Chains A and B, each alone.
Chain A
Amino acid sequence: MSKVKKNLREYQDFTRTIRDFFYSRQVIEVVTPSLLEAPSTDVYIDSIEVLVNQALAKSSKLYLHTSPELEMKRLLSKGSGDIFQICQVFRDNEHGRINSNEFTMLEFYRIEFNIHQLMDEIIELLAALGSSAPTKKLSYAQVFFEYSDIDILNSDIHDLKEITNSLGLNSDYEWIEDIQMLLFVHLIEPKLKEIPICLIYDFPKQQAALAEIHGPTAHRFEMYMNGTEIANGYQEIQSANDYRDRFNTELNKRKALSKPFEFLDHGFLKDLEKGIPKCSGVAIGIERLYSLLSL
């Protein structure tokens, strides 16, 4: 068998295992549009704009999806129940050893799950894919206590700026979440390289993204494998108003940084009028997962 054929077969076995895992749990596979009318609002996720129908004199701008999240949430709001999708996603200004303008994402939503149930299910999925590596599970606050002496949830932006200064790092950041991330990348992530699978949950509320907030933290988690970010999940916020607020927060940051695409996806908010059911969802980078599992 040629090497190409062998590699293709191996990857097919990998995705087939993922699909079988979800089929056996009655999670429905879906396909959602990847060409959208509105760009991502995330301040640090840039959509790729495409111009269509120019020859028809009906030229319009569309945007390649950066994740299938909102389209899948449209389905959730219509009563789809548990769903999953494996698809290509596209992001501008991402390029490097483990970043690319196009990559494959596995995204799934589980009705009534909290993030701990979802993390358990991810571990079961990894087991189905042949990984028996031990898993470490820590809260965001714990991981900072374990690998630094920073009380991350009780430090305000001035405290964190003092710490970055003492580390000889630039502290010229406008938002506390950016300094939290800087300290995470600088102090914590290198330590995670020793850990095969590390789940980190309960992010500071400033990094809630689209996760439910409870007190100082948000029900958000990430999974790291050998120091590489593999998955990002939330217990999802449910109401259109919450989505509008979160999108506006991000859009205001985009404006502050003079980044393009500062408009809301009104169609999504309208479709979400009735909200989505209580659920948790996660996005997993498939190329990274595949390469780390086959190490």
Chain B
Amino acid sequence: MNYNTSQFKNGMKLMLEGNPCSIVNNEIVKPGKGQAFNRVKFKDLITGKTLEKTFKSGESLEAADVMELEMQYLYSDGEKWHFMDPASFEQFDLGQESMGSALNYLVEQDTCIVTLWNNNPISVNPPNHVILEVTDTDPGLKGDTAGTGGKPATLNTGVVVQVPLFVSIGDKVKVDTRTNEYSGRA
């Protein structure tokens, strides 16, 4: 199936240069004396890169068979990360290069969004907020408390997040996965 520029809208998944892409922004430009164009910003769903293309109005692109499914993260064997669709019990696995920043936030049994292209997983989005455990950080309220009031803490996934001074090892903290910021105690 093809979509014409007049049908373009944000979030639409289309094939571009062999890769599935998502429309991030679609701007119609009609020069006073020229024909109408669509200047479109895409996100390549495989590489994560942003692409800008300009089409003459009326051009069309092939739809990408992309689905976003809620799945459960099962485990990692070190090479692959394994997920399960709780509806079909079908299992999918992804290599590290496709995991992106999801690596930093997923603990076993967590639910996340896995993007499938032609039924193959291509990327993982963790929930916006996850609860992780502090495995290492400087102890207590040491030193200057009047400053920015932060210190680095290593969490059980290995990710390092700035936390307030009162947080200590073993505490559970809530992290915003979009910004990698501490957003409260859990």
Contacts and interface: CB of A to CB of B under 8 A. Distances in A.
Given A44-B33, A45-B33, A190-B39, A169 B53 contact: yes
B156 to A, nearest CB: 43
A288 B145 CA distance: 52
A182 B54 contact: yes
B53 A168 contact: yes
A186 B52 contact: yes
A185 interface: yes
A44 B30 CA distance: 9
Contacts of B59: 170
A241 B66 CA distance: 58
Nearest to A229: B32
Residue of A42, A184, A185 with highest tally of chain B CB at under 10 A: A185
A181 B53 CA distance: 14
Given A43-B35, A173-B56, A185-B31, 12 more contacts: A42-B33, A44-B33, A44-B34, A96-B30, A168-B51, A181-B34, A181-B37, A185-B29, A186-B53, A186-B54, A190-B52, A229-B31
Q: Which 8 A-B pairs have the closest CB atoms?
A: A186-B54, A96-B28, A181-B34, A44-B35, A185-B37, A232-B32, A185-B29, A99-B30
Interface string B13-45: 000110000000001111111111101000000
A168 B59 CA distance: 14
A168 B29 CA distance: 19
Interface in B42-96: 51-56, 59
21 contacts: A42-B33, A43-B35, A44-B30, A44-B36, A45-B33, A93-B36, A96-B28, A99-B30, A173-B56, A177-B34, A178-B34, A178-B56, A182-B56, A185-B29, A185-B37, A186-B37, A189-B29, A189-B39, A190-B52, A229-B31, A229-B32
A271 to B, nearest CB: 24
Nearest to B17: A168
A209 interface: yes
Contacts of A181: 31, 34-35, 37
A226 interface: no
Interface of B: 16-17, 27-37, 39, 51-56, 59
B33 A185 contact: no
Interface string A226-238: 0001001000000
A77 B32 CA distance: 25
A58 interface: no
Contacts of B53: 168-169, 186
Contacts of B36: 44, 93-94
A73 B51 CA distance: 45
Interface of A: 42-45, 93-94, 96-97, 99, 168-170, 173, 177-178, 181-182, 184-186, 189-190, 207, 209, 222, 229, 232, 283
Given A168-B17, A170-B59, A185 B54 contact: yes
Nearest to A170: B59
B54 A207 contact: no
A207 B31 CA distance: 12
A208 to B, nearest CB: 10
Contacts of B55: 169-170
Contacts of B16: 168
Contact of B39 (A44, A186, A222): A186
A170 B17 contact: no
B56 A170 contact: yes
Contacts of A43: 35
B29 A207 contact: no
A252 to B, nearest CB: 16
Nearest to B54: A186
A207 B33 contact: yes
A202 to B, nearest CB: 15
A170 B31 CA distance: 18
Given A169-B53, A169-B54, A186-B54, A209 B29 contact: no
A178 B36 CA distance: 10
